[in-house]
Amino acid sequence: MQNKLRYALKTWVLPPAFTQMIYRARDFANSSLLQSRQDRQLLKQNTALKDRHTGTRCFILGAGSSIAKQDLKKLKGEFVISVSNTFVHPDFPLFHPRYHVTPRMLDGHSEWYSENQFVVWLKEMERGTLDAEMFFHIGDRRVIERNGLFKNRRIYWVEYCFWGGGLSTPINLANVPRIWSVSELAITIAIYMGFNKIYLLGIDHDWFIGPQIYFYDQATQHALQPHRIKLGVDSEFQMRRHADIFRKYKYLYSIKKNIYNANANPSHYLDVFPKVDYDGLFVDPARQE
């Protein structure tokens, strides 16, 4: 109920400009009051990733149900950026993602999950993602370090900032335009690292079928068991949320126009990126850039 009241207030009562001013002030406070100098130093280290993979292609692996219909074994030897709980896929060790991206955890979802619940999931993630280089929100650093997680892994930390919807915001992993979906962050990272072509898999956006539709069984293959969470959102909320996500996609696509939708879901409505045939990407060696 509290979330619904907050949503109604900012949507129907406060003028949009005033709401944006609140967001800007809050983001400025969060970024300028980071707990330590070490946080700022860690964020600066992201510059080492700039254009690291120029001239190559990558696949961003989402958790949508459509990847159950695709032969992911073909990803072996490719650069793969996986997200969230995709490490439970049976072929994950075979295509062995180079990078793994997470959304904000305790810092962004503490109203639904406790720290202990996140720690259980993170331990599974640590085992399941093998030696992938990890991307976490800087606000979750204390939780990860306090519980001795990912000690022998390369971690990159990101921070978010206010985004007014403009298409000229520069890509900076220390100031990522605020996100609704982890797919936005994964694409941002891929662009920052300079991949020549970025192919999207399992990013279905089929919320109209149900709010939590994945390729795995949430009751047995996700430590957080998101199916138990009562989100309290309706179709209007989802439409507004997806309008923001698609606006972000248009911004990301405008940067280099090098993002392609290789999704197998016939019901998706992700029309921002050109549609390509997934299987066809592995037929002609000349197309493997």
Tell me if 238 is assigned to some domain.
Answer: yes
Mean pLDDT of the chain: 85
- Does residue 65 lie in a domain region? yes
- At residue 270 the predicted structure's pLDDT band, cuts being 50, 70 and 90, is confident
Tens-place pLDDT, residues 41-68? 999 999 999 999 999 999 999 999 999 9
Q: What is the helix (H) or strand (E) element at residue 80, kind and residue range?
A: strand 79-83
Q: Kindly report, residue by residue over 131-184, the tens digit of the pLDDT.
A: 999 999 999 999 999 999 999 999 999 999 998 888 888 999 999 999 889 999
Amino acid at 13: V
pLDDT for 26: 44
Structural domain count of the chain: 1
Q: Which residues of 228-251 are buried (b: 16+ CB within 10 A; e: fewer)?
A: eeeeeeeeebeeeebebbebbbeb
Calpha distance 86→284 (Å, rounded): 28
DSSP 8-state symbol, 171: P
For range 122-130, the mean pLDDT: 97
E strand or H helix that includes residue 60:
strand 57-61
Structural domain contains residue 289: no
Of 93, 171, 188, nearest to 135 (Cα)? 188
Distance CA 171, CA 112 (A): 30
Residue 141 belongs to a domain: yes
Query: What pLDDT was estimated at residue 24?
Result: 44
Kindly report the CATH number assigned to the domain that includes residue 51: 3.90.1480
- Would you place residue 215 in the very low, low, confident or very high pLDDT band (cuts 50, 70, 90)? confident
User: Between the CA of residue 90 and those of 37, 72, 94, what are the distances in Å?
Assistant: 41, 10, 9
Q: Binning pLDDT at 50, 70 and 90, where does residue 287 land?
A: low
pLDDT at 22 over 60: no
The stretch 122-135 carries a mean pLDDT of: 97
Closest CA relative to residue 63, chosen from 213, 194, 190, 206: 213
**Residues of the domain holding 147:** 34-265
In a domain, 229, yes or no: yes
- Residue 193 in domain: yes
Q: What is the pLDDT at residue 13?
A: 56
Query: Is-contact 66 202, C-beta < 8 A?
Result: yes
Q: What's the pLDDT score for residue 20?
A: 45
What is the rounded distance in angstroms from the CA atom of residue 255 to the CA atom of residue 191? 8
Which segment, 25-29, 204-208, 250-254, is predicted with the most confidence on average?
Answer: 250-254
Tokens coding 28? 């400025």
CA dihedral sign of residues 85, 86, 89, 92: negative
263 pLDDT more than 80? yes
Summarised one tens digit per residue, pLDDT across range 61-116 is 999 999 999 999 999 999 999 999 999 999 999 999 999 999 988 766 656 678 88
pLDDT score for 223: 76
In a domain, residue 8? The reply is no
Q: Phi then psi for 13, rounded to 5 degrees?
A: -105, -50
Q: Has residue 2 been placed in a domain?
A: no
Q: What is the pLDDT of residue 6?
A: 52
Spatial neighbors of 21 by CB under 8 A, at least 6 apart, are none
Q: Quick one: pLDDT band at residue 33, thresholds 50, 70, 90? A: very low
Q: Is the pLDDT of residue 14 over 70?
A: no
